[in-house]
Amino acid sequence: MAKQFMKGNDAIIVGALAAGCRAYYGYPITPASEIAHAAALHFPALDGVFIQAESEVAAINMVYGTAGMGIRTMTASSSPGFSLKQEGLSYCAGAELPMVVVNIDRGGPGLGNIAPEQADYFQVTKGGGHGNYRLITLAPNGAQEMCDLTMKAFDLADRYRNPACIMADGITGQMMEVVEIPEAIPVPYDHTAWAVDGTPATNKNLISSIVLEPEKLEAHNLKLDAKYREISEREIMWEEYCTEDADLIVVAYGVVSRIVYSTVDQARAEGMKVGLLRPITLWPFPSPAIAAHAARDVRFLAVELSTGQMVEDVRLAVNGKAPVDFYGRCGGMVPEGAELLEQYRKVMEGVVSS
Amino acid sequence: MAVNLKTLAHNENLLTGGHRACAGCTGANILRQLMLTAGPDTVVGSATGCMEVVTTIFPYTAWKTSFIHSAFENSAATVSGVETAYRALKKRGELPVEREKINFIAIGGDGGTYDIGLQSLSGAMERGHNMLYVCYDNEAYMNTGIQRSGATPLGAHTSTAPAGTVKQGKEQNRKDLTSIMVAHNIPYVAQTTPYHWRDLATKVEKALAVDGPAFINILMPCPVGWHFDTAIGQDLAREAVESNFWPLFEVEDGVYKVNHKPKDPTPMTVWMEKQGRFKHLFRPGNEHLLEASQQWVDLQWKRLLRLEESTNG
């Protein structure tokens, strides 16, 4: 397999191309613009299309149009631009259209800055747009996963006819690492049953999210809810490191999980039994895995690049059975290993000495 | 209303030095010239863009006047709100008499004006707010890494319309935003450059004097995005006018006036060959693109002259 040194943002386009995506619509924003640059360079050369929209609103609705034809399509942005896409995403989820959207999370609120954050967790996982919908959300922590999880996201989006999101912090987007270029895979889905592609076979189909009669809209919502329950049961992804005997389980995703990973062995050398539980899907959240650990004598520490968002899901999963602490940096600040070790010591005071 | 350089030079510089604009940036010249004429009793609202970023790096500001920033697509809407609040205060007699004449200026780059902000700009102009909108047009999204915009000219290389083996830069002509603003039937619309300081100052003065909305489009040569020597930005502004690529004109209550008619317009290639963004167009095989650029400029110029003739008849 060919290997290449590249930015996480570029790896997203490598994954998209391998997944058979040939339609990209985007709008400039730092620190996500490299995704559009790579798409502009590679999509037209591979008989695909790249269009720079006049706004984020236009970009997500172009995606809506292409997805409505049953064609794999995507868009990418960063926090303020992702906010602009929310109305479109709600319509896409309502009309049950598969697509991949990428959010390279930067500092907020407002214009904030272009440094990394994870403060869009609520917006992405709880539904930034209106109505009863969910975004399947995957959180890569390196360039290889930016590629691989993008491929996975296309598959999940098609399988469940729902938008899937890659949520990565600015560091994971900008960081350069070696990426194994995957083989291109065929698109195994036939969308003639619902897509509208201008052929007689699809003339009876309708792409819409308007359901005026309350009884029917309730039924539509319950159908979506059943789908979301199925996704929650089947598609949770997470990773654990040294959690079996851990007294302290650190829950972290994205670039923070990389920093935590590097501190686990150091903590153990000091006699602190620390482990890492890393959600790979943020929605559905790995609540069952966390709940299983909470049943024994253990503490949790959620570490995030926010003032405390994912920690709420950790607390819901733990359901009061174990203490849950939080440590966060924000505004583009990223914790260092020594800083985290200090937090572990504080949290484990009394636990370590016993 | 004759503009006098001596008077202008004595006016307070309301955009202070120490901002973070690039070497050779002509945008800072535009803002300084704008504010020399507008004066301190001015509220400036700006969309996200390079000039907003370089002048307001938190916690510093280069502006010695009221400044309000809002999201990319909302500069005109935000200033609409400021101007409406001002009118409400004035109506209720809650403004001191000495504060009764305030200028409201919204600014945005070409991305924030031609593209994402066009809707809010159109709304503000149609509603008739007493405000001036200034577009600093450097013909691409320079702040985020030189992506193409509706203002990018045909054939220019950008990061999202790259010149390579398959394509030769942007495939479309630029959008004629100034004409779109004329079509809003507002009292004052104009086009200028920072090289033509007297023209710029006169136009700002006129725009702020009218009762109702005004729009000025200002070409802003950008060394980073256009790829030229940082010393020649103002020369490129002048040559854009001398080649008829960027005519100096104004439209007062629907009547066109072309402020400068080059006796012997320079060919577009003279202006283009100094800019790296057009470099690939001078390679063998791309002659037709150079011709297309010239033809388009000639057509626009003829159209402008006809508009001047017909509206002055």
Write the pLDDT tens digit of every residue in A71-118.
999 999 999 999 999 999 999 999 999 999 999 999 999 999 999 999
Interface A-B: count of C-beta contacts within 8 A: 54
Distance CA B75, CA B60 (A): 20
Q: In terms of CA atoms, which chain B residue is nearest residue A52?
A: B160
Mean pLDDT value of segment A34-48: 95
Mean pLDDT value of segment A268-287: 97
Write the pLDDT tens digit of every residue in A14-23.
999 999 999 9
pLDDT in the model for residue A349: 85
pLDDT in the model for residue A353: 41
* A109 and chain B in contact, CB less than 8 A: no
Distance CA B248, CA A350 (A): 77
Q: Give how far B231 is from chain A: nearest CA, Å.
A: 28
pTM exceeding the 0.95 threshold for the entire prediction:
no
Binding-face residues of B in 115-134 toward A, CB within 8 A: 115-116, 118
pLDDT in the model for residue B166: 84
Q: Which distant-in-sequence residues (6+ apart) come within 8 Å of A235 by Cβ?
A: A136, A156, A281, A284
Mean pLDDT value of segment B184-201: 98
Tell me the sheet residues that pair with B249: B191, B258
Q: In terms of CA atoms, which chain A residue is nearest residue B52?
A: A111
Query: Is A28 in contact with B111 (Cβ distance < 8 A)?
Result: yes
How many CA atoms lie within 13 Å of B49's alpha carbon, on the beta-carbon side? 33
pLDDT in the model for residue A350: 63
Chain A contact set for B116 (CB, 8 A): 27, 54-56
3-state secondary structure chain A: CCEEEEEHHHHHHHHHHHCCCCEEEECCCCCCHHHHHHHHHHCHHHCCEEEECCCHHHHHHHHHHHHHCCCCCEEEEEHHHHHHCHHHHHHHHHCCCCEEEEEEEECCCCCCCCCECCCCHHHHHCCCCCCCCCCEEECCCCHHHHHHHHHHHHHHHHHHCCEEEEEEEHHHHHCEEEEECCCCCCCCCCCCCCCCCCCHHHCCCCCCCCCCCHHHHHHHHHHHHHHHHHHHHHCCCEEEECCCCCCEEEECCHHHHHHHHHHHHHHHHCCCCEEEEEECEEECCCHHHHHHHHCCCCEEEEEECCCCCHHHHHHHHHCCCCCEEEEECCCCCCCCHHHHHHHHHHHHCCCCCC
Chain A contact set for B140 (CB, 8 A): none
Q: In terms of CA atoms, which chain A residue is nearest residue B168?
A: A41
DSSP secondary structure string for all residues of B81-149: HHHHHHHHHHHTT-S-GGGS--EEEEEEEHIIIIITTHHHHHHHHHHT-S-EEEEEE-SSBTTTT-B--
Q: In terms of CA atoms, which chain B residue is nearest residue A81?
A: B72
Tell me the sheet residues that pair with A351: none
Residue A41 has pLDDT above 50, yes or no: yes
pLDDT in the model for residue B97: 78
Binding-face residues of A in 49-68 toward B, CB within 8 A: 50, 52, 54-56
Write the pLDDT tens digit of every residue in A193-214.
999 999 999 999 999 999 999 9
Q: How far, rounded to the nearest angstrom, does the alpha carbon of residue A150 sit from its chain's CA centroid? A: 9
Query: Is A111 in contact with B115 (Cβ distance < 8 A)?
Result: no
Write the pLDDT tens digit of every residue in A179-191.
999 999 998 899 9
* A258 and chain B in contact, CB less than 8 A: no
Mean pLDDT value of segment B49-69: 94
pLDDT in the model for residue A1: 76
> Residue B1: pLDDT band by 50, 70, 90 thresholds?
low
pLDDT in the model for residue A127: 83
Q: Which distant-in-sequence residues (6+ apart) come within 8 Å of A119 by Cβ?
A: A79, A105, A107, A108, A109, A305, A306, A307, A309, A330
Token pair recorded at residue B265: 């317009």
A36-68 core/surface letters (b: 16 or more CB in 10 A; e: else) = bbbbbbbbbeeebebbbbbbbbbbbbbbbebbb
pLDDT in the model for residue A109: 96
Distance CA A108, CA A119 (A): 7
CB A180 within 8 A of CB A144: yes
Residue B15 has pLDDT above 60, yes or no: yes
Write the pLDDT tens digit of every residue in B109-153.
999 999 999 999 999 999 999 999 999 999 999 999 999 999 999
What distance, in Å, lies between the first and last C-alpha atoms of chain A?
50
Distance CA B309, CA A136 (A): 60
Q: Which distant-in-sequence residues (6+ apart) come within 8 Å of A333 by Cβ?
A: A115, A305
% of chain B exceeding 90 in pLDDT: 91
Average pLDDT, chain B: 96
Mean pLDDT value of segment B164-178: 94
Token pair recorded at residue A67: 């997805």
- Could you give the C-alpha distances from B222 to A57, B86, B234, in angstroms and in order? 28, 35, 10
Most A-contacting residue of B46, B48, B72 (CB-CB within 10 A), to test interface: B72
Chain A contact set for B147 (CB, 8 A): 28, 33, 36-37, 52
Residue B101 has pLDDT above 90, yes or no: no
Angle between helices A310-318 and A287-294 (to 10 degrees): 50
Query: Is A37 in contact with B71 (Cβ distance < 8 A)?
Result: no
pLDDT in the model for residue B185: 98
CB A284 within 8 A of CB A336: no
> Residue A351: pLDDT band by 50, 70, 90 thresholds?
low
Query: Is A33 in contact with B159 (Cβ distance < 8 A)?
Result: yes
pLDDT in the model for residue B125: 98
CB A334 within 8 A of CB A171: yes
Query: Is B145 in contact with A26 (Cβ distance < 8 A)?
Result: no
> Residue B275: pLDDT band by 50, 70, 90 thresholds?
very high
> How many C-beta atoms surround the C-beta of residue B265 within 10 A?
17
* Closest by Cβ to B167, choosing from A44, A52, A54: A44
pLDDT in the model for residue A354: 36
Binding-face residues of B in 46-105 toward A, CB within 8 A: 48, 69, 71-73
Residue A49 has pLDDT above 80, yes or no: yes
3-state secondary structure B177-213: HHHHHHCCCCCEEEEECCCCHHHHHHHHHHHHHCCCC
CB B120 within 8 A of CB B60: no
Q: In terms of CA atoms, which chain A residue is nearest residue B115?
A: A54
Most A-contacting residue of B51, B144, B152, B172 (CB-CB within 10 A), to test interface: B144
